[in-house]
Amino acid sequence: MKIPSVLTNSKKNMSFRDTNQVVHGYQCINPEDETAVIDCRIYTGKRPYSSRIIAAVWIRDKKNNRFAHGVGFAAGYGYHKGSLAIELALIEMGIKLETEIGCRGYGECVKAFQALMSEMGYLSFITAEFSA
């Protein structure tokens, strides 16, 4: 996993947070100051059968002074849209993944978040998962 020294902020409109609902998410927490270094939220439309998934990922790395957010979208049927949206959000920030995590389920995303934390120099951290 390659993390650039300067991460790129998403240029996408973040207004989807007001019109969609959070259905899943992850946080990687630094136990020293109890702050979320990585915060990932998965949104879906409010319509009952909405097929569009939106992933928003924030990195607040105070240790290395890196702050960024990325947004990824996935729609359609027949594959794991949440993991693809997360992969696209990470790529948008400039993070180069060694292996693809899209369409492979949330387990691969957790491994990617843990690798990111290690790459940023966090030796101990807590990974929390939540669902709505």
Query: Cα separation of 63 and 33, whole Å?
Result: 11
- Is residue 7 one of the residues assigned to a domain? no
Count of structural domains, the chain? 1
pLDDT of 111-121, one tens digit each?
A: 999 999 999 99
Average pLDDT over residues 62-78: 90
- Is residue 104 one of the residues assigned to a domain? yes
pLDDT value at 86 more than 80: yes
- Is residue 68 one of the residues assigned to a domain? yes
Of the ranges 8-12, 18-22, 58-62, 125-129, which one carries the lowest mean pLDDT score?
A: 8-12
- Is residue 1 one of the residues assigned to a domain? no
**Average pLDDT taken over every residue of the chain:** 88
Looking at per-residue confidence, does 1 or 16 come out higher? 16
Query: Cα separation of 113 and 27, whole Å?
Result: 9
Containing structural domain, residue 87: 16-131
- Is residue 27 one of the residues assigned to a domain? yes
